[in-house]
Amino acid sequence: MQRRHLLLLGTAALAGCGFELRREPELSFKTLALTGFEPDSPLAAGLKRQIKRTSVQLIDDANRAQVVLEVLNEHRDRSVVASTSVGQVREWQLRLSFDYLIRTASGELLVPKVELRLARDMNYTETAALAKEQEAINLYNAMHSDAIAQVMRRLAAVRLQG
């Protein structure tokens, strides 16, 4: 009984402070085209999954879409941040660059060029190379999720004229 009372008290406290779980962004347009993505782009796949959770219809023809998300650059890379005196890598920096703009089919700019840059640092040891490669994949997946969430929030802010 005491546990239930504490749970109700905690829930009431959160509700009173304005806390609310993040919901899916609500998009104010009906059709969207994604252009400029590489065929095997994980960002494109993730965006398509997120958009399918909304009422917006994805279409292939950018000339018929109300809104077009146009990719200008999508690139991921890694660089050495720290190494030993004998040249063994001790730390990598993983980076994701994603540049895009949002426009109408007629070319009217709704959101000017966005340059999204994400980075994660990862320590490294040769003795755990396979595990570290899996960690890098997980970090890239986390960056893709962050980028997709940011793009979805930008799309939710788009308002069409008339």
Domain ranges of the chain: 27-157
Instruction: Count the residues in the chain.
Output: 162
Percent of the chain past pLDDT 90, that is, above it, reads 68
The predicted structure's pLDDT at residue 96: 96
Which residue did the predictor score with more confidence, 2 or 140?
140
The SS3 of residue 123 is strand
Q: Exposure of 36 by Cβ count < 10 A (0-12 exposed, 13-18 middle, 19+ buried)? A: middle
Whether the full predicted model's pTM is greater than 0.85, yes or no, is no
- At residue 116, does pLDDT exceed 90? yes
Q: Is 93 within 8 Å of 119 (Cβ atoms)? A: yes
Averaged over 89-101, what is the pLDDT? Answer: 94
Tell me which amino acid residue 111 is. Answer: V
Which residue did the predictor score with more confidence, 4 or 88?
88
CATH 3.30.160.150 is held by the domain 27-157: yes
Which residue did the predictor score with more confidence, 95 or 89?
95
The predicted structure's pLDDT at residue 161: 79
- pLDDT, averaged across the chain: 88
The SS3 of residue 93 is strand
